[in-house]
A and B are shown apart, each in its own frame.
Chain A
Amino acid sequence: QSAPTQPASLSASPGQSITISCTGTNSDVGNYDLVSWYQQHPGRAPQLIIYEVNKRPSGISGRFSGSRSGNTASLTISGLQAEDEADYYCCSCAGRSTLVFGEGTRLTVL
């Protein structure tokens, strides 16, 4: 299966809000409430920040929120902070017990 499409890069200033999109198909993102998002800082392992479209694990800031409409899932980060500068990946169930990661988005906090 093909990786869901994400913008390669985004930038915003501290305090602003930003939304990262993850566009898949009706075989993955659009067919399951099983989209997760991961934050990855350089040289570090990914960290789960959103699961099941819009749920936050314990310890993850409420500034992170998720949603889905049709074949596109979105991650919104409000009140941007310098430490939010990282790569972000969506991930979705893709049927037949498989899953697929999105292409990834590099977020720069100006």
Chain B
Amino acid sequence: QVQLQESGPGLMKPSETLSLTCTVSGFSVRSHYFWGWIRQPPGKGLQWIGSVYPGGTTHYDESVESRAIVSADTANNQFSLRLTSLTAADTAVYYCARQVTNLYYFDAWGQGTLVTVSS
């Protein structure tokens, strides 16, 4: 049974760069799936950030495309999100999830990690 677990800093300062890692267990990230990041600001809805295929193909939401990089580390069965130039608007719970290739849905999710951007 696939399990995903996010890890990373809980508190960041404006203008800093956020790095989050999702560790996958019970399933190989080399498999025929995309691996994605979704965030949820406090009290608000879900926002897709971007997804990566193990071969290196990536896709991003246009609103964060210039600041986000999603990458896969198949050796460690992990994938990561890097988000630059943080502002308070980036404060959110960040979820990692498995995305079924070509069908655009997420069938397994991590529990989420809260990232607060504050000076």
Which residues of A are in contact with B by a Cβ distance under 8 Å? 1, 3, 32, 34, 36, 38, 40, 44-48, 51-52, 57, 89, 91-93, 96-104
Closest beta carbon of chain A to B24's beta carbon, Å: 15
Known A38-B46, A91-B105; further 9 A-B contacts with Cβ < 8 A: A34-B105, A38-B106, A46-B95, A51-B107, A52-B105, A89-B45, A93-B104, A97-B59, A100-B48
Contact of A92 among B46, B60, B104, B107 (CB under 8 A): B104
Task: Determine the chain B residues whose CB is within 8 A of the CB of A47 once the complex forms.
Answer: 109
Q: Is B75 an interface residue (CB 8 A)?
A: no
The answer on a CB contact under 8 Å between B104 and A46 is no
Task: Determine the chain B residues whose CB is within 8 A of the CB of A101 once the complex forms.
Answer: 38, 45-48
Give the docked Cα–Cα distance between A51 and B109 (Å): 15
Task: Determine the chain A residues whose CB is within 8 A of the CB of B105 once the complex forms.
Answer: 34, 36, 48, 51-52, 91
Contact of B45 among A34, A52, A97, A102 (CB under 8 A): A102
Closest beta carbon of chain A to B93's beta carbon, Å: 9
Closest A-B pairs by Cβ, 3 of them: A36-B105, A104-B45, A93-B104
- Contacts known (A1-B62, A98-B62, A103-B45); A91 close to B104, Cβ less than 8 A: yes
Q: Which of B73-115 contact A (CB under 8 A)?
A: 95, 100, 103-107, 109-112
Chain A residue with the shortest CB-CB distance to B47: A101
Give the docked Cα–Cα distance between A6 and B42 (Å): 19
The answer on a CB contact under 8 Å between B109 and A46 is yes
Give the docked Cα–Cα distance between A48 and B107 (Å): 6
The answer on a CB contact under 8 Å between B46 and A98 is no
Task: Determine the chain A residues whose CB is within 8 A of the CB of B110 once the complex forms.
Answer: 45
- Pairs A–B under 8 Å by Cβ, sample size 8: A34-B104, A36-B106, A45-B111, A48-B105, A51-B105, A89-B46, A98-B60, A98-B61
